[in-house]
Structure 1
Amino acid sequence: MSTSGEHGYPDTGHTRTHLPGGDPYGGAPRRTPRSSSRSLITVVGVVVLLIAAIAFANRDNSSSPNTPAKGPNQPAAAPTAASGHTPVPTKQNGIPANFPHTKQGAESAAANYAVALVSADILKPARRGEIVREVFVADQQATLTDRFNKAYNKQFLSNIGLDQNGNSAAGHTYVSRTAPLGTKPTAYSASAATVEVWCTGVFGTAGEDSTNPVTSDWFTMTLELRWENDDWKAAGFSQKDGPTPIPGDGKASSADQMATAVEEYGGFTYAR
């Protein structure tokens, strides 16, 4: 079972709640230097035109805005397209559960589990056990609970400005939120699946005097899944950097804006 992460384990000082284990992928996230404003404006202009052209090319001129969605005989979804299937209707301890026994169900499970495993909640001892129980197969739960507890110990939490319960100091908000951008199954059977999840996210501590300001990250998490007790559960995982785009030239928000956004904007249930 692979349980490796890239940053955020006890001896690095980085703040992203990456998963405990070795560091086969190097140190801090790679940052691409920004180009000049003129170059960025040119690039943005080209991208906007391309998006407009693609949208126009893909438009179905034979359909009106009120045309109903295609029925069961609609073409199979492209690798990067949504399937149109309804997300899972249930959650256990705040984590989506009861995924369909299909390849798309495995992809949805992987996406939602990636969000849970790289969340601020994984740093809270009171929530960590619940996350492990909902995400992982039964025969890995004890081992992973022990590994998470050792990795996210009191010293590690203190190093990133959190107390022993995973809470930030007064006036600060710890941020670790992940958004899957796509999934790719690399193996699938009725009993097991391997799914890669390409993600972006924000992480760090929002606060006027924070030494770890909130920044962004791009990574790919690979989850090994098993069909167990009528649901997809993770049996192992690994993580690597990227793919990472060229940074934009947007103005960074204030610490208060970041903290407010995390509290006011809810997350999603991801479905393939």
Structure 2
Amino acid sequence: MSLGDEQHGYGGTGQTRTRLPEGDPYGGARRTARSSSRSLVTVVGVVVLLIAAIAFANRGGDDSAADGDTAADAAKPKAASTAPSGVAPVEGGAGGIPTGFAHDQQGAESAAANYAVVLVSADILKPARRTEIVQQVFVADKQASLGAKLNQAYSKEFLSNIGLDANGNPSPGHTYVSRTVPIGTKVTGYSATTATAEVWCTGLYGTAGEASTNPVTSDWFTMTLQLRWANGDWKVDSFSQKDGPAPVPGDEKASTADEMAKAVQEYGGFTYAR
């Protein structure tokens, strides 16, 4: 669920829901199932090509630029990998929220990813839990104002519109789902005291259960978090959210409401640390 579900952020409107495209958005033929009668010649040809590709990838290093590379290509930003840094940024946790992030750029990225998960979770819809989250995630001087905005965004009326009671609980026999999965992070500004990090996410939101009028669906969004180093940890100073980038939906068959509810109840989430 994107922040606010029907209300992205605090002022936006409209849910983010993925729709199956009509026809092939890339203009090509529809994907077909692999044939079980593929000829031996074709199989052998594929194996040979794979062996050649692996051999090429493992050749000794030539540090010079590959043929066709240009200065413009070299200047393009590269995606930062999530290779371990040797520093464990998360040393503890409180109320299920990681704490003790490293005082460096990777620590800021880790904090942003973990806070994105918390800020777009089912817990944020529960007034009592929301108060705890605000106290743990936000810098002290912003807790009152940001807490008030969240309370306004997740009002009783809003909760009722998505099938939840005033305490953020679904009706009997239903399971409310709001789970976020960070796909990647990017730091766009960093100093010893502040950091700006973007977190590209996908997520699930909706109500699983028989005759649900708000079935579980998925969305894609990017959160930008302004972080501040305060009391020995990275905390949120402010945050915003926008839709996408979103891929073309696949052809997977949707699970039943019972299957979805069971999966959410049985599979726990992750702590994101680099």
Partner of 1:8: 6
Deviation at 1:123, TM superposition (A): 0.4
**Aligned-partner SS, 1:144:** helix
**Aligned CA distance change for structure 1 residues 256 and 101 (closer, same or farther; 3 Å):** same
Unaligned 5+ runs, structure 1? 10-17, 63-77
Give the structure-2-normalised TM-score. Answer: 0.78
Give the structure-1-normalised TM-score. Answer: 0.79
1:151-230 aligned at under 5 Å gives the runs 151-230=153-232
Q: Which digits, 9 at most, give the CA deviation of each residue in 1:160-202, with x for residues without a partner? A: 1111111100111000000000000000000000000000000
Partner of 2:273: 271
CA RMSD in angstroms comes to: 2.8
Structure 1 stretches of at least 4 aligned residues deviating more than 3 Å after TM superposition: 4-7, 55-62
Q: In structure 1, what is the Cα distance between the partners aligned to 2:56 and 2:101?
A: 31
Deviation at 1:83, TM superposition (A): 2.8
Q: Is the contact between residue 4 and residue 154 of structure 2 (CA under 8 Å) also seen in structure 1? A: no
Say if 2:11 is the partner of 1:22. Answer: yes
- The one of 86, 91, 114 equivalent to 2:116 is 114
Unaligned 5+ runs, structure 2? 35-45, 61-77
Q: Is the contact between residue 206 and residue 213 of structure 1 (CA under 8 Å) also seen in structure 2? A: yes
1:75-86 aligned at under 5 Å gives the runs 79-85=79-85, 86=88
Q: In structure 1, what is the Cα distance between the partners aligned to 2:55 and 2:203?
A: 31
Q: Which digits, 9 at most, give the CA deviation of each residue in 1:203-233, with x for residues without a partner? A: 0000120011000000000000000000000
Partner of 1:74: none
Q: Is the contact between residue 88 and residue 96 of structure 1 (CA under 8 Å) also seen in structure 2? A: yes
**Aligned CA distance change for structure 1 residues 127 and 248 (closer, same or farther; 3 Å):** same
Q: In structure 1, what is the Cα distance between the partners aligned to 2:201 and 2:165?
A: 28
Q: In structure 1, what is the Cα distance between the partners aligned to 2:272 and 2:232?
A: 19
Partner of 2:255: 253
Matching residue's letter, 1:8:
E
**Aligned CA distance change for structure 1 residues 39 and 154 (closer, same or farther; 3 Å):** same
Q: In structure 2, what is the Cα distance between the partners aligned to 1:186 and 1:122?
A: 26
**Aligned CA distance change for structure 1 residues 60 and 143 (closer, same or farther; 3 Å):** farther
Q: Which digits, 9 at most, give the CA deviation of each residue in 1:125-145, with x for residues without a partner? A: 110011111111001001111
Q: Is the contact between residue 225 and residue 235 of structure 1 (CA under 8 Å) also seen in structure 2? A: yes
Q: In structure 2, what is the Cα distance between the partners aligned to 1:28 and 1:260?
A: 25
Q: In structure 2, what is the Cα distance between the partners aligned to 1:144 and 1:174?
A: 24
Q: In structure 1, what is the Cα distance between the partners aligned to 2:167 and 2:133?
A: 15
Q: Is the contact between residue 206 and residue 255 of structure 1 (CA under 8 Å) also seen in structure 2? A: yes
Larger Rg: 2
Q: Which digits, 9 at most, give the CA deviation of each residue in 1:28-65, with x for residues without a partner? A: 326451536x9452699xxxx9xx89x95897699xxx
**Aligned CA distance change for structure 1 residues 6 and 172 (closer, same or farther; 3 Å):** closer
**Aligned CA distance change for structure 1 residues 154 and 101 (closer, same or farther; 3 Å):** same
Q: Which deviates more, 100-109 or 129-138? A: 129-138
**Aligned CA distance change for structure 1 residues 43 and 198 (closer, same or farther; 3 Å):** farther
Q: Is the contact between residue 103 and residue 233 of structure 2 (CA under 8 Å) also seen in structure 1? A: yes
Partner of 1:73: none
Q: Is the contact between residue 17 and residue 218 of structure 2 (CA under 8 Å) also seen in structure 1? A: no
Q: Is the contact between residue 34 and residue 249 of structure 1 (CA under 8 Å) also seen in structure 2? A: no
Q: In structure 2, what is the Cα distance between the partners aligned to 1:104 and 1:87?
A: 8
Partner of 1:70: none
**Aligned-partner SS, 1:119:** coil
1:71-110 aligned at under 5 Å gives the runs 79-85=79-85, 86=88, 88-110=90-112
